[in-house]
Amino acid sequence: MRPKTETAPRGALRLAVLGLAASLVLPLHASTAFALSEIKREEIPAPVMPPKPAADESATPEKSVPMPDPIQTPATTTPQGTEAPAGTEAPSEQPADDQPAEPDATPTEPGGATGPAAPNLDPEGPLPEIVYDLSRLPEPVARMRSLLVEAAKTGDIEKLRPLVGQGEAMPQLSFGDIEGDPIAFIKGLSGDGEGQEILAIMEEVLNAGYVHLGEGTDEDLYVWPYFFGIPLDKLDPRQKVELFKIVTAGDYEDMKQYGAYVFYRLGITPEGRWAFFVAGD
């Protein structure tokens, strides 16, 4: 076995080496810390930042929206076509607080349509006579009315064809132009698609009382129902019941905006020509 006499010298040597290293390291750290603590704060140089480019007021940053000048305003054009000086306000299109607003566009009386079939009531004029007695009709008028009622009762829209006539003799069926077959046009007005609804309306209209309008003029006509010649606010309770046989209460409320009956009406000339069968104003 080897002798253990070298163990002590090796341990002593290791301790000596470690002690020497510690004596060298500690003074170095201590001197470094002391040096940093001795530096005054105001002596630490501030970080150097790159200089900002000079602002160019005439340049607009990329992808930015230029803001309007709060002082200068563009020149405006006056109603006379001349330019107003910059900085003045253009006339406002909105009504001033102390001025009344524009009236509602909803019509208060019938308008737009023209001709004998268009509502044309004179609220200050005398009311026409409401007649139920068919015997007071001139014979040509009574005959055309009877033919129309008979055709309506059949439920066949084609039964109206012989009564329509041709050219200027054709009745007015719309306030606009009609292209094609007039019977097909009447059929197209019917909600059921076959014409029975329109025939039912026609029969109900012709069974109501009538008025004789424009007597002695070029627009001399016998018109059904009589509501066409009477302002709605002049109808009494009994007459309103007769009105509701033809229109609904909702229709009546809508027609009150115009003050006139604007549902289907039918006119016959004293010579017995079917003059019109229209609805609307």
- The SS3 assignment for 266 reads strand
Per the model's pLDDT, the better-predicted residue between 247 and 10 turns out to be 247
More confident residue, 31 or 141: 141
Tens of pLDDT, residues 10-43: 444 444 444 444 444 444 444 444 444 444 444 4
pLDDT value for 115: 82
What average pLDDT score do residues 261-272 get? 97
pLDDT at 50: 52
Q: What is the mean pLDDT of residues 184-210?
A: 96
Over the Cα atoms of the chain, what is R_g? Answer: 50
pLDDT score for 81: 45
- Given a contact cutoff of 8 angstroms between Cβ atoms, the answer to whether 203 and 149 are in contact is yes
Question: Is residue 234 a part of any domain in this protein?
Answer: yes
Res. 112 pLDDT band, cuts 50 70 90: low
pLDDT at 102 over 80: no
- For 64-92, the pLDDT digits (tens) are 434 444 434 444 444 444 444 444 444 44
pLDDT exceeds cutoff 50 at 117: yes
Number of independent structural domains in the chain? 1
The answer as to whether 39 is a domain residue is no
Asked whether the beta carbons of 119 and 228 are under 8 A apart, the reply is: yes
pLDDT tier for residue 122 given thresholds of 50, 70 and 90 = confident
Share of the chain above pLDDT 70, in %: 59
pLDDT of the residue at 125: 83
256 domain-assigned:
yes
Q: How confident is the model at residue 179 (pLDDT cuts 50, 70, 90)?
A: confident
Instruction: Report the chain's mean pLDDT, rounded to a whole number.
Output: 74
Q: Pick the residue with more confidence: 48 or 172?
A: 172
In a domain, 160, yes or no: yes
pLDDT of 110 over the 80 cut = no
At 168 the pLDDT is 83
Contact 156, 147 (CB under 8 A): no
Residue 220, in any domain of the structure: yes
Predicted confidence (pLDDT) per residue in 180-190, tens digit: 899 999 999 99
Res 52: pLDDT: 52
Q: Round to whole Å and give the CA distance between 228 and 223.
A: 7
Q: Does the residue 155 lie in any domain?
A: yes
Whether the per-residue pLDDT at 145 is higher than 70: the answer is yes
- Given a cut of 80, whether residue 254 has pLDDT beyond it is yes
Q: Quick check: 167 pLDDT over 70?
A: yes
Domain around 180:
134-278
Let me know if residue 55 belongs to a domain.
no
Give domain status of residue 2, yes or no.
no
**For every residue of 164-231, which 3-state class applies, written as one string?**
HCCHHHCCECCCCCCCCCHHHHHHHHCCCCCCHHHHHHHHHHHCCCEEEECCCCCCCEEEECHHHHCC
